[in-house]
Structure 1
Amino acid sequence: MQREELVRRFVEKIWQWYAKNKRTLPWRDLQIADDTQRAYMILVSEVMLQQTQVSRVQLLFPRFLPNRIFRGKVIDLLRDHPRGLTLAGIGRES
């Protein structure tokens, strides 16, 4: 069997396992048409996940989502919002 075929089968098995075993997480299936907005919300989920456990982010992300429709540049968002606001409620209030 060729290396390429082995790699293809391995990747296929991993995707099959993922389809069967993945956790339902609110940031995985965002119903947002705007790619920039989707990328921003995924970035937010990644930052939140760096700060605390997945179970806590699962509770907080849906509450965060409706209040954070972002239409500008990320740099503007960071400039206009204090650090405490972005991390509040995920175990990093200080």
Structure 2
Amino acid sequence: MDKRILLLTDFSENAFNAVRYALKLYSDRKCNFDFLHAYQLEGYSMHNPPYNPEAFQESHEIEKRKSEKEFEKLMKMIRLHPDNPKTYL
């Protein structure tokens, strides 16, 4: 593997364009692209007592499912634009 590249995404059009740019930029090299998406649960803070992680479990599961669906859509869109045949996604 020549390169290992971390791509951040918020699933926006700008993030998708950045992904396509990176795929095109490294189209002549074998690359492994890793994606990172972070989200914050509304109302969650370790600094506001009382800290109760169980109270946010449902919110976490909802956000996690939304992120997984968005990631699946992103991967489908990337595969429609095969800029780099040597890419490992």
Compute the TM-score of the two structures, normalised by the length of structure 2. Answer: 0.25
Compute the TM-score of the two structures, normalised by the length of structure 1. Answer: 0.24
- Report the structure, 1 or 2, having the larger helix content: 1
Larger radius of gyration: 1
- Report the structure, 1 or 2, having the larger strand content: 2
